[in-house]
Chain A
Amino acid sequence: MLSKRIFVQAALVFALVAGAANAADQATVERGEYLARLGNCAGCHTAPGGADYAGGLALASDYGTFITPNITPDKETGIGDWSADDFYNALHNGERADGSPMYPACPYPNYTHVPRADIDAIHAYLQSVPAVEQRHGPHELGFPYRYRSLLNVWQMLYFEAGEIENDPEQSRDWNRGRELVQGLGHCDACHRARARLGASNDDEDAPGAMIHGWYAPPLADPAQAGLQHFELAEAAAFLQSGKREHAAMMGPMADVVFESLQYMHDDDARAMATYLKSIPEVSVDSPLRLIRMSDNGRRQAMGEGRKIYADRCAGCHGDDGEGREGAPALAGNRVVTMDNPINAANMIRQGGFAAATEGNPRPHGMPPFYDLDGRDLAAVMTYIRGSWGNDAAPVTATNLER
C-alpha cells in the first residue's frame, strides 16, 4: 500500500516535471520561431515556390552565385545532424559542422553578436520544422573564391567573433535595438556596402549596397533611409507596418516587412527604432555617379518629363506631386530626391504593392510602366526630381540601364 502510494506520487512528480520540461521546450521553439522571423532566415533559405527553409535560392554577388543551403532537419541534406553547439559555432564563429569555414554571404559577422540563448532557441525551432530532403549543387563562384579554404585567411583578416557588450550609458531599449540591428536583423548586410573582398566597412559614411537590383540606402543618412527625424512611435510603427503617411517600403524591403518585421513585438520595434534614431547623422554620397547634364539638356528633359507626368502620373500623384490616399506625395519624397535614382526607377518600371500587414492590410498597387523607354523614364524622373521644391540632379537614360 505504502509502496503503491510512493509509486503514484513519484509518477505524478515525474509527469509534472516532464510536463514542465515540455512546456519549456515548446516555449523555446516558439521563441526560436519568432527570432528566426526577425533574422528572416527564410528570406534566403527558402527558394521561390520551394519548401520553407529547404534552401536553393540563388544569391548573385560580385564573387559568383551562392546557392543557399537546406537548413531543415533532414539528416542527409539539411542540418538534422547539427547539435546546438554545431549551430552556435556556425552562427557565432562562421564554421560549419564539418569544421570548414562559411562564406560571409551568410551574415554571421552579424549573427556573432546574437546571444547564445537566442541562437539555441533558433536551433530548437529549426529542428522542429518539417525535414525536407533536398540537395543542392555547389555554389557557382569565380576563381579564386571557389576555394573554401581561403576563407580561413579571410576570417583571420576580417572577422572577429563576439557578442557586443551592453553600453551602460545607454538605455535598455537602445542596447536591445543595437543588438537587433547589428545582430539578428543584420540590417547592415544590405544597408551598408562591404569593403574590398567582403570585409565589413566601418566608415560612418559607408554607402548602401545593391540587393536584387535595388539600392538599400544608408541608415546613417536621414535624407535616405535614416529614421533620425521620425518620432519614436512613428518609426516603430513604420518598421512593423511598412507604411506611414505618404511613404511605404517597397522592393526587397517590402519582402523584409512581409516576412519578418511585421511579426516584431512592440517592445522590440520600439528598441529597434530607438537605436536607428540614434545613429549619428551623416550625409552619404551615392555610389552611382550621375552623369552631368547640360542646362539645355535638362530643360529639354524637364519639358518632356512634364508631359509624361501629366499623362501618366498626375492622375494618382497629383498635378503638384501632392499625392493622395495610397499614392505617395512625390514632392519632398526622399526616394525621389535621394541621389541614387534606381529605386524610384524600379517603382515606375515594375510597379507593385507594399506589404500587406496588420497596419496596412489593403495596400494600394502602383501600376507598372513597362512601356516607358529609357529616355522617357529618365525624362519623367528628371521632372519629378526637379519640381515642386524637389531639387535633385537630372537623370540620364544611361544611368538607368542595368
Chain B
Amino acid sequence: MGPNTLPPSRSKDAATVPATRFFLIGALLGGLICLTTSAVAHDAAHHDPMAERLEACTACHESQGVELEDGYVPRIHGKPAGYLYNQLVNYQDYRRRNRSMNHMVAHLSHEYLYEIADYFADQHAPYPAPAAAPQPALAERGEQLVREGDEQAGVPACAACHGEHLTGVQPNTPGLIGLPRQYIMAQLGAWQVGTRHAAAPDCMAKITQRLNGRDVEAVAAWLAAQPIPEDTRPVANAVVDPPLECGSVPAPES
C-alpha cells in the first residue's frame, strides 16, 4: 500500500455505507428470500474465476429471474453494464433499499462494481417465456403508453428511451422485456412512493407520478406478455432527443 495515497478503490466523495448499518433500517422492499441452488451455480463456475467470485449474486439472480411468494429476483444477465453499475451504486448509497442488496455491495469499490456489472452485461442466457396476454382494454392502454405515451398526462412513450424493441439502450437504459408483471409493477410503484430512486434528475420518478394505478397495471401486463425479440441486445446508439432529462443516462465515471 503506497503511503499518502488513497487507494483507487474509493473516490473521496463516494458516499458509501457500511453493510452492517442495514440492520438498523427496515428493508422497504422486503427481504428477497433467496432459494440458494448451489449446485446450479457450481456447474457454471468451474473454470471462470469471475463466476466463482460472483456466486453470491447468481445464487439468487438466476438467468431466468426467480419468482418468490413475496417478491421477485430479477434477471440481471444481458442488461446494459452502465444500468447495472448504476443500480449497484444506488444500493450502496441507499437510493435503493433492499436488505440483501445493500448488504452485498456495502464495501465493494466502484471499480469492482463496474467489473461485476460488465460481467453480467456479457451473459446472454435465454429469456423466460412471455406471460399470457392481458384483457384487450388493458392491453390497449398498455401498448399505447409503451409505444406512444400519453401526451395529455405528460408521459413519454417507454419506447422513446428504452429502445424501439424495448431491449434497452447502451450504456445505461435497461430493457423492459422478459420481466414479469409483478416486478414491473413493483418498480413503478416503488418510484411512485419514493422507495426507489435514480440519480437526479430522476426522470422515472417524474413519469411514474403521472401514471395512475391502472396505467401501471396496463404497462406491466402488456410488457410482460411481449414475445422475446430475436436480438435481445441493448441498442448501441444513444437516444438523440430524449423526452426528459435523466441523471442516470450519461455514461458513469469509472
Give the B-binding residues of A (Cβ under 8 A). Answer: 43, 46-52, 57-58, 60, 211-214, 240-241, 251-252, 254-255, 257-259, 262-267, 269, 311-313, 315-316, 325-326, 350-359, 361-371
Contact = CB atoms under 8 A, between A and B. Distances in A.
B1 A49 contact: no
Interface in B5-51: 6-10, 15-25, 31, 33-36, 38-39, 41-42, 49
Contacts of A57: 21, 24
Contacts of A265: 1, 3-4
Contacts of A43: 18
Contacts of B184: none
B191 interface: no
Contact of B53 (A58, A60, A266, A364): A364
B36 A312 contact: yes
Contact of A49 (B15, B36, B39): B15
Contacts of A351: 56, 59, 104
Interface of B: 1, 3-4, 6-10, 15-25, 31, 33-36, 38-39, 41-42, 49, 52-57, 59-60, 93-95, 100, 102-109, 111-112, 115
29 contacts: A48-B22, A57-B21, A212-B20, A213-B20, A214-B20, A241-B1, A251-B19, A258-B18, A264-B1, A265-B3, A267-B3, A313-B38, A316-B55, A325-B52, A351-B59, A352-B56, A352-B106, A353-B56, A354-B107, A355-B107, A356-B109, A357-B109, A358-B8, A361-B111, A368-B36, A368-B56, A368-B100, A370-B36, A371-B34
B19 A352 contact: yes
Contacts of A263: 6-7
Contacts of A365: 53-57, 104
B100 to A, nearest CB: 7
A370 B31 contact: yes
A359 B59 CA distance: 26
Q: Which 3 A-B pairs have the closest CB atoms?
A: A365-B56, A49-B94, A255-B18
Given A241-B1, A313-B38, A355-B107, 9 more contacts: A47-B21, A252-B20, A258-B10, A259-B18, A315-B42, A362-B112, A363-B112, A365-B53, A367-B60
A368 B4 CA distance: 37
B157 to A, nearest CB: 32
Nearest to B52: A326
Contacts of B19: 251-252, 254-255, 352
B1 A269 contact: yes
A370 B9 contact: no
A370 B107 contact: no
A330 to B, nearest CB: 15
Nearest to B20: A212
B9 A48 contact: no
B56 A46 contact: no
B190 to A, nearest CB: 15
A316 B42 contact: yes
A109 to B, nearest CB: 22
B59 A368 contact: yes
